[in-house]
Amino acid sequence: MGFETSMPILVVDDYQTMVRIIRNLLKQLGFEDVDDAADGVQAMSKMRQRRYGLVISDWNMEPMTGYELLKTVRADDELKDTPFIMVTAESKTDNVIAAKKAGVSSYIVKPFNAQTLKSKIEAVCGM
């Protein structure tokens, strides 16, 4: 059961500690090919240069939020099918609904562990 651990993953978060935490969780799950970006603008630039099997993005960032990044990715013909997991500290129903409407693949509320991340990745990238 599972997913391709060789697929490249892009972690997008303006908080370096969170990037490190997610990288460590991904490493525990067997993922080695992990890039990161500090905001949505940087993420789009990286996504235009390389195909990612999954994007894991924080919601709250400047100048482009994870929500704006999600909408930009879904509007891009070449990137629109990229699995996209939104990570946020806020579990506001409005945010979840907005993200779902914008086409998010899954949603994780912080804090979370490797098992939660694994189940979300399996749900959106399961082979």
Q: Tell me the per-residue pLDDT of 3-12, one tens digit each, with 9 for 90 and over.
A: 789 999 999 9
In a domain, 69, yes or no: yes
Kindly report the backbone phi and psi dihedral angles of residue 94, in degrees, each rounded to the nearest multiple of 5, phi listed first: -60, -40
In a domain, 124, yes or no: no
As for how many domains the chain has, the answer is: 1
Rounded to two decimals, the pTM is 0.95
Asked if 73 and 55 touch (Cβ cutoff 8 Å), the reply is yes
In a domain, 84, yes or no: yes
Given this model, what pLDDT does residue 90 score? 79
- Segment-wise mean pLDDT, segments of 10 residues, the chain, 127 residues: 84 96 97 97 97 96 95 98 93 89 95 95 86
- What is the distance between the alpha carbons of residues 33 and 9, in angstroms, rounded to a whole number? 6
Q: Domain residues for 32?
A: 9-90+106-112
What would the 3-class secondary structure string for 84-114 be?
A: EEEEECCCCHHHHHHHHHCCCCEEEECCCCH
In a domain, 85, yes or no: yes
Pairing of strands 9-12, 106-109: unpaired
Q: What CATH number corresponds to the domain at position 54?
A: 3.40.50.2300
In a domain, 98, yes or no: no
In a domain, 100, yes or no: no
Kindly report the backbone phi and psi dihedral angles of residue 91, in degrees, each rounded to the nearest multiple of 5, phi listed first: -105, 30
In a domain, 64, yes or no: yes
In a domain, 45, yes or no: yes
How many other CB atoms sit within 10 Å of the CB of residue 92?
11
